[in-house]
Amino acid sequence: MFSIDKAIRSSRTQLPVVSDLMSGPIESVLLRHQLCASMVCNYDEGPESIELLLSTGIPRAPFIGSRKEKLASFLVECLRYYAAPHVHSIGRSELWEEISAVVDTTGWQFRVLFLPFYVRDRRLIMLCFKKGEAPLSISKAICEELAEAADTTAFLLGAYTAEKRLRIMEIYVKEIGHDVASSVQATIAKLRNISRGFIEGPAVSHKVREAEDEIMATYRIADTLGITVDPDYRVVNPTQFDAVQSAMQVIERCRSEAAERHIQLRLEQSNDSVEAFGDEKAIQSALTQLLMNAIKYAKGSSFVTVRVKDESGDVEFSVTDRGMPLDKEEELHMWEFGFRGRRALELHVNGSGIGLYTVKKIALAHGGRYGCTVAREAENVITFVFGIPARRRVRELRANP
């Protein structure tokens, strides 16, 4: 059975795994009520946030990967039908087909208990399955017992998330400190060379501009950090700006890093000028994250392309490179806080897994979208994209945060 002491002891040596700690207690509840299987899902921010935390009698792996969409679709269907505990038909759903493909569902009823819980500021949903002919119904006893299990699951999930977030944030802050220190050292060196007369004539203006770029880079690092760690980040003072000019500024700031790997940066745009409306500094931070990632992971001596397009009133920013291969399973998790791909870890590529999370955060704060496409048939040409909506929709977002 679950105990707080067991959870605390395990957290001292490794991050507590929710499924390991909760599978036993939930299985006991199922047995007492003659249920044969269950799925427990986290549902914090909408369908895209759905995560299968643990399952009993059903393999978890397929439904945190390629079959996750079928699970999400079924939960949305249940919520639309009745966003409270109820018995829901599952026999003709795509989720039932997927479950039947990995589990022998002979004798299972074609109905499922749908039990949503809101505990510890988390929204958890349980699906419970029954075998045999005994009627499937919702009782006060099962709701109370599973509510207790949901509360403990939410507690463990919160502890796991907090510890993971602190660990990743520690890595992130270390990287930020290194980047800031490097930028400050470079700025000091340039200014000292000027003040001591080692640089004269037109070269002085050039070095001053380089020093200014270094200072601005440090500012952008600090500004991005504020967005990343702020759980309530919102678009506060949006302005009208030229998205093409803004993208050109980002490219110029990243040219020196690209040159180190002999990577050429190029810009493509749908028009000479594309009007956008939002937090320009945040948008530039998001584009910088994508561009620096592309420079970091792209093949040396290649091209990285930045595109700015006007898509039916929305402004779309994208970055394309021929880079490190991505597994299909990794594509599902790359926007999560702290996620890093297997190859990035194997090759010891610097990073903390927060860049894409920050891009997602900025895009969603603007009421926009984000995504990634991988053309594997074209030597892993990878395109990361985010879009921000038209001015009127951003205003609505501000009025209704």
Query: Does residue 56 sit in the same domain as residue 144?
Result: yes
Decide: pTM greater than 0.75.
no
* Number of compact structural domains in the chain: 3
Is residue 234 situated within a structural domain?
no
CATH of the domain at 246: 3.30.565.10
Structure tokens at 25: 């207690």
Query: Does residue 15 sit in the same domain as residue 119?
Result: yes
Structure tokens at 268: 């493509």
Helix (H) or strand (E) holding 242: strand 239-242
Residue 9 is predicted with a pLDDT of 40
Rounded Cα distance between 240 and 262, Å, is 35
Query: Does residue 224 sit in the same domain as residue 251?
Result: no
Give the domain extent around 185. 168-229
Query: Does residue 140 sit in the same domain as residue 271?
Result: no
Is residue 390 situated within a structural domain?
yes
Query: Does residue 31 sit in the same domain as residue 82?
Result: yes
Nearest CA to 188 among 157, 180, 77? Answer: 180
Query: Does residue 95 sit in the same domain as residue 190?
Result: no
Rounded Cα distance between 221 and 164, Å, is 22
Is residue 216 situated within a structural domain?
yes
Query: Does residue 267 sit in the same domain as residue 128?
Result: no
Is residue 50 situated within a structural domain?
yes
Q: Is residue 291 within 8 Å of residue 306, measured between CB atoms?
A: yes
Nearest CA to 372 among 314, 328, 310? Answer: 328
Q: What's the distance, CA 398 to chain centroid? A: 23
Residue finishing a domain among 143, 164, 185: 164
Query: Does residue 114 sit in the same domain as residue 194?
Result: no
Residues in the chain where the model's pLDDT stays below 50? 1-16, 394-396, 398-401
Residue 13 is predicted with a pLDDT of 37
Residue finishing a domain among 130, 164, 198: 164
Query: Does residue 279 sit in the same domain as residue 182?
Result: no
Query: Does residue 194 sit in the same domain as residue 284?
Result: no
Rounded Cα distance between 218 and 183, Å, is 6
Residue 350 is predicted with a pLDDT of 64
Query: Does residue 157 sit in the same domain as residue 281?
Result: no
Rounded Cα distance between 30 and 129, Å, is 9
List Cα–Cα distances, 58 to 104, 226, 246, in angstroms. 10, 41, 50
